[in-house]
Amino acid sequence: MTELLELTVADAAEQIRAGEVERGDYAEAWHERAAADDLNAYLWTPDDGSRMSDDEQPGNDTAGTLNGIPIAIKDLFCTKSVPTTAGSRILEGHRPVYTSTAVRRLQAAGASVLGKTNMDEFAMGSSNENSAYGPVLNPWDRRRVPGGSSGGSAAAVAGGLAPAAIGTDTGGSIRQPAALCGIVGLKPTYGAISRYGMVAFASSLDQCGPLARDVTDAALLLGAMQGPDPCDSTSIGIEGGVAAPSRADLAGLRFGVPKELGEDGMEAGVRQVFEQTLERIRDLGGEVAEATLPHAGHGISAYYVLAPAEASANLARYDGVRYGLRHDAGDLIEMYETTRSAGFGAEVKRRIMLGTYALSSGYYEAYYGQAQKVRTKIAGDFRTAFESVDFVVTPTSPSVAFELGAKTDDPLAMYLNDFFTVPMSLAGIPAISIPAGLAPPDGGGPELPVGFQIAAPAFGEAKLLDAAFALEQGIGFDARPAEGS
């Protein structure tokens, strides 16, 4: 069993196709691991009676690229007849009548659902402490957060509870937990993967993406999920599809370091690993240059107006009438109020109120309108930067994983964890986080993973994955969390 669990997704799928590994044995090994979850990474795993056989998996293709691979699914994706809560009490027990496009496409490629992973409620958070079902623990140090909002997916992969997973990224919710857990996380271009069946947070920002042990596995999942979908008018897909990355060096590529996303608030260990990674780029033949993103420093301010505003509109549907939690009351308005008060957590309520205020009469142009202008400026900054560099690079997170409870009383400090990831989300461009090394937190403590973020022009996933693959090989990060850390 241990040998099976050590296989990458690419290797396992190939060995299953070749008949060297029985797909049933491989799936059973992972289901046993998921059932033994000690990180609170899963909100649902199938018991023996509710698990589908290989033949029953909808659209299962035994010749597909993910033949026989069980994938952990963030609990933000609708899965037919399987609980989908978005980490919230207001959807506790909700079982959708359909399956999201991203999950259906994974199944069509031969994958199966391993379980539904824990997350910050409605994807609102950077630590996974906002889940209504308790925080996920970081497998590197169970006293620390795994990052969020896709913390359950990241912890499951890093902790050996899943071979790979999918999550969602609105302002960094794939990349940041990937960095804090020492794995690969990719936010594709907005529109590369259908959002149909993803519970909406901020519709103009939400994007599905993979979390995996390495860049090759991330590319496999992206290739299976990407493409246009008539159920999502914003989905375009990636022209030419996604091939397995194979680049051996970085010769001829220019990597831009934005001076505006400087060292303020960055831990010393993170800075050191980032500088070492820039040197590794040079060793592999790449060029490191300065890039200019004049408006990127305003990204956090703009994001925390735009995202809550869209959340305010999207979450209005949870009213106790159509589905989910319902608290009966004397009249309709009181029923709305009591249901939402009981069903939504503190962070969700905070963002709904922020967004509603930003959209209210007399404040719309001052807040929401201005934030949209900043977003346009940031997108333009990236387009200009990509005229002189191939990629923009930053640390993924300004710190390594912090202790549980360290920032829960300071929302602004929590929001600043997304400082390096938000600009790419606002611009709608692809970005990947790869593990670059280990560093101690400021103040001392055990060494923890540091992520390195690479961003590319819109729909430049092929070039991005190739560069990330070459750098991944050059870094040679192979550290794993110790059992029971």
pLDDT digits (tens, 9 = 90+) for 318-365: 999 888 899 988 899 999 999 999 999 999 999 999 999 999 988 899
Tally the domains of the chain: 1
Q: Would residue 116 show up in a list of annotated catalytic residues for this protein?
A: no
Domain span at residue 325 reads: 1-485
Per-residue pLDDT tens digits for 227-272: 999 999 999 999 999 999 999 999 999 999 998 877 668 999 999 9
Task: Give residue 330's pLDDT.
Answer: 87
Q: Would residue 360 show up in a list of annotated catalytic residues for this protein?
A: no
Strand bridging mode 448-455 / 431-439: antiparallel
Helix axes 299-314, 370-385, angle to 10 degrees: 120
Q: Which stretches within 50-204 are classed as H helix?
A: 101-108, 151-158, 175-181
Catalytic residue (choose from 173, 194, 235, 433):
173
Q: Are 227 and 262 in contact (CB under 8 A)?
A: no
Q: Which of 420, 437, 419 is nearest to 477 (CA)?
A: 437
Task: Give residue 54's pLDDT.
Answer: 44
86, HSE (Cβ side, Cα atoms, 13 Å): 24
Catalytic residue (choose from 100, 112, 126, 149):
149
Task: Give residue 55's pLDDT.
Answer: 41
For residue 442, the domain's CATH number is 3.90.1300.10
CA distance 435 to 47: 34
| pLDDT beneath 50: ranges in the chain | 53-56, 58-59
Task: Give residue 53's pLDDT.
Answer: 45
Task: Give residue 2's pLDDT.
Answer: 82
Q: Would residue 173 show up in a list of annotated catalytic residues for this protein?
A: yes
